[in-house]
């Protein structure tokens, strides 16, 4: 019998949940749910050999995530992901100190990697900190000030694992519906609060719902506050499966995946760690590794 990190048997039935056009806090730009999700049999799967990964040989130099500890993964009812290749020395995305900020939802790379971003910050489940400490899967956190301000400290151990804190406004408005001045305060006030709390200024900004990213008004507002790029996404993690923007419903190298800090009340009873475990399973079954987004981005020279 396999137990999850809460010491409870994992009983959620994969079949029952699947397709949910779940209204996410960050919204989706695509329509429709994903069809025919590959369900994950959580209880019966025999552990696989850990070196597995018949997928492409990653360079053996310094796997950024460190060597996977199969026992740590087994604790979460998972087998280790293939280690990500070393990040490229020549970064696919190069940011400038000034001028319009680029907007991207994927990273150009041939590496069989995807990037996980987790937004808002509502659910602050200590088990997720434990899980990430065990698994050392890289994530990027786009935090909304008024959603995290009641417990800034929650995110510090996640940051201490090497994960970056990025800007996701003060209180999650629809940016194209507010005037430029208000846009600016939404971004700048979050920027200063996050910088003060976490000791480093966010390099990236994500507009709530991905809204307004292509407008010059929002681009200017971002420029005035410090972030040097706007980051959207290609896939959106729901509860047990992802919604894909591409019609073939497959991950592509360099895809950015959107997830959220959410708990049982928003996940139909599933926990943050169950959601994240399922996300990793969806990535693994398509033969991908998880890399750190910021490792593929060159920050402006200071
Ligand atoms: Zn959001």
Instruction: Give the distance (Å) from ligand 1 centre to CA of residue 142.
Output: 8
Instruction: Give the distance (Å) from ligand 1 centre to CA of residue 157.
Output: 21
Q: Which residues neighbour 124 within 8 Å (Cβ) at sequence distance 6 or greater?
A: 151, 154, 261
pLDDT above 80 for 38 = no
Instruction: Give the distance (Å) from ligand 1 centre to CA of residue 141.
Output: 10
Instruction: Give the distance (Å) from ligand 1 centre to CA of residue 262.
Output: 11
- Cα(255)–Cα(178) distance, rounded to whole angstroms? 30
Q: What pLDDT is recorded for position 26?
A: 53
What is the residue whose two structure tokens read 């130099």?
61
- Sign of the Cα torsion 259, 27, 112, 43 reads positive
Over residues 93-123, the pLDDT tens digits come to 999 999 999 999 999 999 999 999 999 999 9
Over residues 225-284, the pLDDT tens digits come to 999 999 999 999 999 999 998 889 999 999 999 999 999 999 999 999 999 999 999 999
Instruction: Give the distance (Å) from ligand 1 centre to CA of residue 237.
Output: 13
Instruction: Give the distance (Å) from ligand 1 centre to CA of residue 234.
Output: 15
Instruction: Give the distance (Å) from ligand 1 centre to CA of residue 25.
Output: 5
Instruction: Give the distance (Å) from ligand 1 centre to CA of residue 274.
Output: 20
């Amino acid at each position: 019998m396999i137990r999850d990190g809460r010491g409870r048997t994992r009983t959620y039935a994969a079949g029952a949940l699947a397709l949910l056009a779940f209204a996410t806090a960050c919204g989706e730009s695509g329509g429709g749910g994903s069809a025919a999700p590959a369900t994950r049999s959580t209880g019966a799967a025999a552990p696989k050999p850990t070196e597995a990964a018949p997928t492409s040989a990653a360079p053996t130099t310094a796997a950024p995530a460190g060597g996977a500890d199969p026992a740590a993964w087994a604790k979460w009812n998972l087998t280790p992901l293939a280690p990500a290749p070393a990040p490229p020395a020549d970064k696919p995305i190069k940011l400038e100190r000034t001028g319009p900020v680029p907007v991207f939802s994927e990273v150009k790379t041939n590496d069989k990697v995807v990037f996980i971003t987790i937004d808002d910050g509502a659910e602050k489940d200590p088990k997720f900190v434990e899980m990430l400490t065990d698994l050392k899967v890289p994530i990027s956190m786009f935090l909304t000030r008024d959603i995290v301000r009641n417990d800034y400290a929650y995110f510090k151990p996640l940051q201490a694992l090497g994960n970056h804190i990025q800007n996701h406004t003060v209180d999650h408005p629809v940016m194209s519906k507010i005037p430029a001045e208000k846009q600016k305060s939404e971004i700048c006030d979050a920027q200063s609060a996050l910088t003060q709390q976490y000791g480093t200024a966010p390099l990236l900004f994500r507009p709530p719902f991905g809204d307004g990213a292509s407008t010059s008004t929002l681009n200017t507002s971002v420029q005035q506050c410090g972030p040097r790029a706007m980051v959207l996404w290609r896939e959106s993690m729901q509860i047990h499966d992802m919604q894909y923007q591409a019609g073939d419903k497959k991950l592509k190298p360099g895809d950015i995946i959107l997830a959220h800090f959410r708990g049982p009340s928003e996940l139909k009873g599933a926990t943050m760690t169950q959601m994240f475990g399922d996300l990793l399973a969806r990535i693994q079954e398509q033969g991908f590794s998880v890399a750190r987004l910021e490792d593929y981005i060159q920050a402006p020279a200071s």
